[in-house]
Structure 1
Amino acid sequence: MPASRRALDVLVIGAGLAGLACAHDLLAASRTVGVLEASDGVGGRVRSDHVDGFVIDRGFQVFNTSYPQVKRRLVLRDLRLRRFTPGVLVHTDRGRVRLADPTRAPRTVSSLLSGPSAGPGDLLALALLSARDMLGPVGPLKRADDHTTRTALAAAGISEEFTDLFFRPFLSGVFLEDELETSGRVFHLVWRSMLRGTLCLPAAGIGSVPARLADALPTDTVRFESPADRLTDDGVLLADGTEAAASAVVVATGPGPATRLLPGLDMPPYRVVTTYYHSASKVPLAEPTLLTDTRLRFLNSCVLSEVVPGYAPAGSALIATSVLGEGATGGEGALRDALAQTYETDTADWDLVTTRTVHDALPAMPPPQPLTRTSRVGPGRYVCGDHRTTGSVQGALASGARAAREILRDLSR
């Protein structure tokens, strides 16, 4: 079978965040690298489309400025980041409750104490938990015994009532599961990152994050529309019958292609999320704030055009609402009814712009959850992705960095 190009040191299959980070670090070490991408662009699950003048991220996503890998690899000002409100609006059976970060919005403390949201005991427990996670060293968080998030919250003194009011609705959108069964160790690390950073969106869409990473690579490093058929003794056989030769191959794809290319690979189950994008002629909530629902009819909702005005054409508002699985229970009509209640407005004239279902949105992370795993799966064979670390932008980038380190050590021998 013909070889498509000269032999490289490393071939990376997949131009998502993990694959791009891996390729960048290998190139920085003066290794020859090629990236094979099956689609027509970089990013994998982190991409942005343009539909009828709207910016549509593939699944509702936010960008956290505190991640170490993000700080290392990106110039944040180049992304023109726009912030979310530091808090959430929670829809309850008694109406909406605002829960804000008191460290960034001190005036909200009195309203929390006087309202139905939290009592002094919960606020004290939350303050102690947050201070430890935010200000303390990260080592103890990583080494702690691992239990579920619900158990971790109870151990911190958070009442079940406050957990069900705030943490369960909010974290269901973070971990894409609504039972708080995710690793408590992962929760503490995520909570730390949220307190230390800012949740925001790039002005051009979340897809500009991998685009910036790809721009830092030499021209022609990434070959698009080049799906890998199988790994060979000499490299990778592509679907078009050509073979790309390399001393080492890194599989940095989603779970499906990864397990096909690397039979026997240990892969966790993945969470599925669907995001509905509606347009409205009137802004239903004139602030860049996440809206959650204690009845869990959806994970979260937000007027994205209030976060980034460029997400919608002039005169329109873009509302993104995410649900677990492949669609809302009862369909889009039932979801629209729920949104009418939570936004406290008529949604009958909202138009459905599009939906996006991401089948491999996030790996399940039950306890005990390893925070990192080796990328080596065999001689000259490596794998990276958030399934090797934690389900986050930080996890994907860190996994790519670890794969690069291990490859460089092996090649140097």
Structure 2
Amino acid sequence: MQSTPRVIVVGGGLAGLVAARHLAGGGVGATLLERAESVGGRVRTLERDGYRFDRGFQVLFPAYPAVERELDLEALDLRRFTSGATIARPGRRSVLADPRQRPGTIPATLLNPDITIGDRLRVARLWWELRGTDPDRFFDGDNRARDADESIERYLLERGFSAGFIDRFVAPFYGGITLDRSLSTSSRVFEYTFRTLAAGGAAVPAAGMGAIPAQLADRVRAVGGRIETEAAVDAVSSAGSSPRVTTADGTNYEADAVVVATDPPAARELTGVESIPTAARACVTQYYALSGDESLETGKRLLLNAVDDDGPNHVVPHSAVAPEYAPADATLISATYLGESEASDSELARRTQITLESWYPDRRFDALETVHTDRIPFAQFDQPPGIHDRLPDARSPDGTVYLAGDYTRWSSIQGAMRSGRDAAKAVLEDLSR
């Protein structure tokens, strides 16, 4: 009688969890090894003193195809951001909204001094152009919607968008998505996310972004997969017919296949695949508490810093979007700085206070209390034009070792989840032979 194939998944981020679920569901014995105390990788939520702090500024795009396929969105009890943003600069704040969702915002949007009528028409035209495109075509080889790739900035300039619109809105808005305010990121990322945001907006689970890997872990166990935490993997060997995984405590796991689903630097070290990208985009997100009766008067919209200065790229009104993120008597906001700032936590808090007081000249923010800081040196891999043509795929490592990670697709929750499913499919196909 033939024994059940055994597969080890190294890494408990979104890619590893999705891979383990599909492997176990496909009839193999899947064991996931995660070095931390809990799964989630870069997607985590810390709960402390009645607050919920996601690991850096993170949101879920519910219209991502992999999100719709892999998650029970109703069970996540999503709290949605209002589309658009508040564009802030010293002495002035203006609203850019999506009138399709909130017709009452049409007057404020039309009167927005930061956006021209021409730019509004170009946004509508671009949305109409991209809405009918199969999202997989933005990245998938010969089926790509466009063969050429270019920076986001060049892409927008070629379509006639004004420099003011790009500098004041797109740069900080996409600075939050790509951690690249210079807009040197691949335009394929812009097209995919623009289409997805227009289709479904952005949201967070009521229990924080950590609810996403928690749900995926439950689904792994429900189909018979095993998850072992605090199991740091030091080596993966593809020699011979059975690959071997060795953990830091000297435990050896032999299997019929191994899926490496760690962060990019660790994946390159474990597999030797040189095409795994390791150039990083970093950020610092700092959370602040205000008294419960204070508000940033932006509703559930992001506040975008229209000026490229020492202040934060954007500010998020977390408890306005999701009241569950803060105690009833407090307001929780955050500010995100792009790159690895050398400034101390107190200096960053001071910069945020100065920035807020410039945006709200009739208010003081002396009561701004720093309650948590996340410094994330590897939040995303860098995605310049052309990089997606050079990324590895699931079968790039030698032997029966496979890759699962957004670095096989593109840096996003969509890329991570899709890569996990792709890796599981490759393993199951090869084992069936």
Q: TM-score range by the shorter chain?
A: over 0.9
Identify the residue that residue 26 of structure 1 maps to in structure 2. 23
Counterpart secondary structure, 1:367: coil
Tell me whether 136-145 or 26-35 shows the greater mean CA deviation: 136-145
Given residue 126 of structure 1, which amino acid in structure 2 is its aligned partner?
Answer: V
- Does residue 201 of the first structure (1) align with residue 237 of the second (2)? no
Q: Is the 8 A contact 1:7 1:244 kept in 2?
A: no
Given residue 145 of structure 2, which amino acid in structure 1 is its aligned partner?
Answer: R
Distance 2:28 2:199 in 1: 35
Distance 1:138 1:68 in 2: 8
- Does residue 320 of the first structure (1) align with residue 337 of the second (2)? no
Given residue 52 of structure 1, which amino acid in structure 2 is its aligned partner?
Answer: D
Assess, with a 3 A threshold, how the Cα gap between structure 1 residues 10 and 137 changes in structure 2: closer, same or farther. closer
Q: Is the 8 A contact 1:146 1:369 kept in 2?
A: no
Given residue 233 of structure 2, which amino acid in structure 1 is its aligned partner?
Answer: A
Q: TM-score under structure 1 normalisation?
A: 0.94
Cα shift at 1:97? 1.1
1:336 aligned to which of 350, 353, 371 = 353
Q: Is the 8 A contact 2:21 2:225 kept in 1?
A: no
Given residue 34 of structure 1, which amino acid in structure 2 is its aligned partner?
Answer: T
Distance 2:77 2:338 in 1: 30
Cα shift at 1:260? 2.0
Identify the residue that residue 84 of structure 1 maps to in structure 2. 81
- Does residue 271 of the first structure (1) align with residue 285 of the second (2)? no
Identify the residue that residue 183 of structure 2 maps to in structure 1. 180
| Deviation per residue, 1:158-199 (Å, 9 max, x gap) | 111111121111110110011111111221111000000131
Identify the residue that residue 141 of structure 2 maps to in structure 1. none
Tell me whether 206-215 or 44-53 shows the greater mean CA deviation: 44-53
Identify the residue that residue 109 of structure 2 maps to in structure 1. 112
After superposition, residues 4-403 of structure 1 pair within 5 angstroms as: 9-93=6-90, 95-138=92-135, 141=138, 142-144=144-146, 145-218=148-221, 221-232=226-237, 233=239, 234-268=243-277, 269-281=279-291, 282-286=293-297, 287-296=299-308, 297-327=311-341, 331-344=348-361, 345-370=363-388, 373-376=392-395, 377-403=397-423
Assess, with a 3 A threshold, how the Cα gap between structure 1 residues 294 and 328 changes in structure 2: closer, same or farther. farther
Given residue 304 of structure 2, which amino acid in structure 1 is its aligned partner?
Answer: T
Distance 1:374 1:57 in 2: 29
Cα shift at 1:364? 1.1
Counterpart secondary structure, 1:143: coil
Given residue 416 of structure 2, which amino acid in structure 1 is its aligned partner?
Answer: A
Counterpart secondary structure, 1:187: helix
Q: Is the 8 A contact 2:91 2:358 kept in 1?
A: no
Given residue 379 of structure 2, which amino acid in structure 1 is its aligned partner?
Answer: A
Cα shift at 1:240? 0.6
Tell me whether 386-395 or 252-261 shows the greater mean CA deviation: 252-261
- What is the RMSD computed on CA atoms of the aligned residues? 2.0
Tell me whether 250-259 or 388-397 shows the greater mean CA deviation: 250-259
Q: Is the 8 A contact 1:276 1:320 kept in 2?
A: yes
Assess, with a 3 A threshold, how the Cα gap between structure 1 residues 53 and 115 changes in structure 2: closer, same or farther. closer
Counterpart secondary structure, 1:237: strand
Assess, with a 3 A threshold, how the Cα gap between structure 1 residues 395 and 140 changes in structure 2: closer, same or farther. closer
Assess, with a 3 A threshold, how the Cα gap between structure 1 residues 139 and 11 changes in structure 2: closer, same or farther. closer
Distance 1:140 1:45 in 2: 26
Cα shift at 1:328? 7.2
Cα shift at 1:42? 0.9
Given residue 403 of structure 1, which amino acid in structure 2 is its aligned partner?
Answer: A
Counterpart secondary structure, 1:276: strand
Q: Identity rate of aligned residues, in percent?
A: 35
Assess, with a 3 A threshold, how the Cα gap between structure 1 residues 114 and 349 changes in structure 2: closer, same or farther. closer
Given residue 231 of structure 2, which amino acid in structure 1 is its aligned partner?
Answer: S
Given residue 340 of structure 1, which amino acid in structure 2 is its aligned partner?
Answer: E
Cα shift at 1:137? 4.3
Distance 1:240 1:185 in 2: 42
Q: For structure 1, which runs of at least 5 residues remain unmatched after alignment?
A: 1-5
Q: Is the 8 A contact 1:201 1:308 kept in 2?
A: yes
Distance 1:244 1:340 in 2: 57
Given residue 20 of structure 2, which amino acid in structure 1 is its aligned partner?
Answer: A
Given residue 258 of structure 2, which amino acid in structure 1 is its aligned partner?
Answer: V
Q: Is the 8 A contact 1:328 1:334 kept in 2?
A: no
Aligned length: 408
Identify the residue that residue 426 of structure 2 maps to in structure 1. 406
Tell me whether 204-213 or 96-105 shows the greater mean CA deviation: 96-105
Distance 1:334 1:111 in 2: 29
Q: Is the 8 A contact 1:49 1:55 kept in 2?
A: yes
Distance 2:5 2:286 in 1: 43
Tell me whether 399-408 or 330-339 shows the greater mean CA deviation: 330-339
Q: Is the 8 A contact 2:95 2:112 kept in 1?
A: no
Distance 2:173 2:134 in 1: 25
Q: Is the 8 A contact 1:149 1:182 kept in 2?
A: yes
Counterpart secondary structure, 1:217: helix
Assess, with a 3 A threshold, how the Cα gap between structure 1 residues 33 and 160 changes in structure 2: closer, same or farther. same
Assess, with a 3 A threshold, how the Cα gap between structure 1 residues 359 and 196 changes in structure 2: closer, same or farther. same
Given residue 143 of structure 1, which amino acid in structure 2 is its aligned partner?
Answer: A
Counterpart secondary structure, 2:130: helix
| Deviation per residue, 1:378-397 (Å, 9 max, x gap) | 11111111111111111100
Assess, with a 3 A threshold, how the Cα gap between structure 1 residues 322 and 132 changes in structure 2: closer, same or farther. same
Cα shift at 1:7? 9.0
Distance 1:323 1:7 in 2: 49
Distance 1:111 1:209 in 2: 35
